[in-house]
Amino acid sequence: MSTKDRNNERVRRTDDGRLLAHLAALFHRRWAVPVLAQLHKDHGAKAITLANRLGVSRESLRATLDELIEHGWIARNAGYGHPMRPEYLLTRRGEKLGPTCVRLMAVLRKMGIQRIALRKWSMPITLALAGGVEHFGELKRILPGITSRALTLGLKELQRTGLIERRIVDQYPPTTSYRLTRRGRRLVPVLQRL
């Protein structure tokens, strides 16, 4: 491999690492993507409206809104006060995510996997597998902050929903690899846009 190819590979890995870290932050709260999608569709909303439309508890919504504000994806409306004005709006950074969140929610709804896919590590694991990572140790190394237990549970749930397949290679010692199924690959273009 030439020096140029090695440098290109390092840049690709760094970009993939940044994307995985971004996805891990985005999916840290189960309701983050649905909230961003709803705020994009409604051009802002009040907390009570979000809670009613999404069916989320006020405590979960409050924690999600606080985290989205912390990341700079949403902001409180400075002009809030009139009954018709939204309480929360997408920021410029949030506006970039909004359309993709709407698309992702539509795909997840169509596939019937919202409950599993919106868990903290499901989509970061899916994207890591799409990048060519196949083994448990590699996944654990490149996913920022994931525990072995969380990775094991995430892989089992994704396998159960038919998004990934698990293969055991008959050699000594036996190794296990994971790959996206055709169904799982449907999510990759949307996730890469995030």
Do the domain assignments include residue 173? yes
Same domain, 109 and 123: no
User: Is residue 159 located within the same domain as residue 105?
Assistant: no
Q: pLDDT by residue (tens digit) across 68-114?
A: 999 999 999 887 777 777 899 999 999 999 999 999 999 999 999 99
Q: What is the pLDDT of residue 18?
A: 82
In a domain, 9, yes or no: no
- Verify that 99 and 141 share a domain, yes or no: no
- 132 and 181 in a single domain? The answer is yes
Contacts for 105 with CB less than 8 Å, ≥ 6 apart: 33, 34, 37, 114
Are 133 and 166 part of one and the same domain? yes
Pairing of strands 88-90, 175-180: unpaired
For residue 191, pLDDT beyond 60:
yes
Question: Cβ(143)–Cβ(151) under 8 Å?
Answer: yes
Classify residue 61: in a domain, yes or no: yes
Residue 180 has pLDDT above 90, yes or no: yes
Q: Does 59 reside within a domain?
A: yes
Asked if 32 and 39 count as a contact pair (C-beta separation under 8 A), the reply is no
In this structure, are 36 and 101 located in the same domain? yes
Closest CA to 120 of 90, 86, 154: 154
Last residue of a domain, one of 113, 136, 161: 113
- Averaging pLDDT over each range in 7-16, 83-92, 179-188, which range is the top one? 179-188
Specify the pLDDT at position 4.
42
Domain check: are 105 and 124 in the same one?
Answer: no
Are the beta carbons of 25 and 71 closer than 8 angstroms? yes
pLDDT at residue number 1:
47
Encode 160-176 in three state secondary structure.
HCCCEEEEEECCCCCEE
Domain final position from 59, 92, 113: 113
pLDDT at 17: 75
Q: Is the pLDDT of residue 9 over 70?
A: no
Q: What is the pTM of this model?
A: 0.85
Q: What number is the average pLDDT over the span 51-71?
A: 95
Distance from C-alpha of 104 to C-alpha of 187, rounded to nearest angstrom: 8
Among candidate residues 83, 113, 143, the one where a domain is terminated:
113
Residue 141 neighbours by CB distance under 10 Å: 12
Sequence-distant (≥ 6) Cβ neighbours of residue 153 within 8 angstroms? none
pLDDT, greater one: 118 or 1: 118
> What is the reported pLDDT for 16?
65
Distances 45 to 40, 56, 57, 59, 83 between C-alpha atoms, Å? 9, 14, 16, 17, 11
Q: Which domain holds residue 157?
A: 119-194
Work out how many domains the chain is built from and give that number: 2
